[in-house]
Each structure stands twice: as structure tokens, then as C-alpha cells.
Amino acid sequence: MPEEEKRRVLVVDDEPAICAVCKRVLTKNGFEVDIVNDGETAEKSVEEQTYDLLLVDIRLPKESGIEFYVWLKQVYQLIAERVIFMTGSVMGGDVATFLKQSARPYLFKPFRPDELVNAAEEFYNNSR
């Protein structure tokens, strides 16, 4: 794929195994993948780079995925619309309420590689 056609993804997750799967699977499927481990670092990445898609874990150290998303909505509204959340949390309480209110797509962890690719491809194709 020519460089100008590369689809850039930012993965925001603190679990090394999830990061490794995302990097391997998405790279193999034509995405260029950057990985950060917390919301604060994700903010810096968004300020320095343009991303077509952001895969964001809900529970992160320093700044949660929810806090990062709230920051995106305030500072980079259009980029906030490129978020797919990832969660290993049981769908109850605050997480369920947040996901419903955000109206963003999400993946339950652990997800299969094909679920990840399908979510990324579907989102990317629908956002063009």
C-alpha cells in the first residue's frame, strides 16, 4: 500500500498482550499502528499525529479511556468520532452507562483477531 494510503491506528491499552495482538493483526491487514499505554500519552500522540481510528481501552493508568475520550470531545471533536472502545469490564454500572451515552462502537476483551479486523475495516469504510 502506498504511504499516502496507509490507514493509521492509535491503540491505547496498558495490556502488553492486547497491544501485541492489535499491532500484529492490524499491521498484517494494512494499518499502520502506534501504541501507547495511557490516556496522557494518547493525548500527546493525537496532538502530534493524524489517526484514522483510535482503539481505546476504558480502564487505563494515569488517565482512563473515558477521561481521554472526554478530552477528545472537548479539544478534537472530529477525532472523538473515530474511537472504538475496548473493555474487559462486565457490562454494568458506569461502563455500560458511559458506552451507551457515548454511542461509540466497542469490543469486548478478549476479542478474536477477526473481530478486531472486522471492527476496524467496517469503521474505516463507513467513515470515508
How far from chain centre, in Å, is Cα 4?
21
What b-and-e string marks burial along 38-55, b requiring 16 or more CB atoms within 10 Å of the CB?
bbbbbbebbeeeebbbbb
24, 3, 120, 104: CA torsion to nearest 10: 120
Q: Say what the pLDDT of residue 1 is.
A: 44
Read off the pTM: 0.92
Cell numbers placing 26: 492490524
Give me the number of domains the chain comprises.
1
For residue range 8-27, list pLDDT tens digits in order: 999 999 999 999 999 999 99
Return the CATH number at 84: 3.40.50.2300
Largest Cα–Cα distance of the chain, in whole Å?
Answer: 44
- Which helix (H) or strand (E) element contains residue 12? strand 7-12
Q: For residue 7, what are the domain limits?
A: 3-126
The pLDDT of residue 2 is 47
Is the pLDDT higher at 120 or at 88? 120
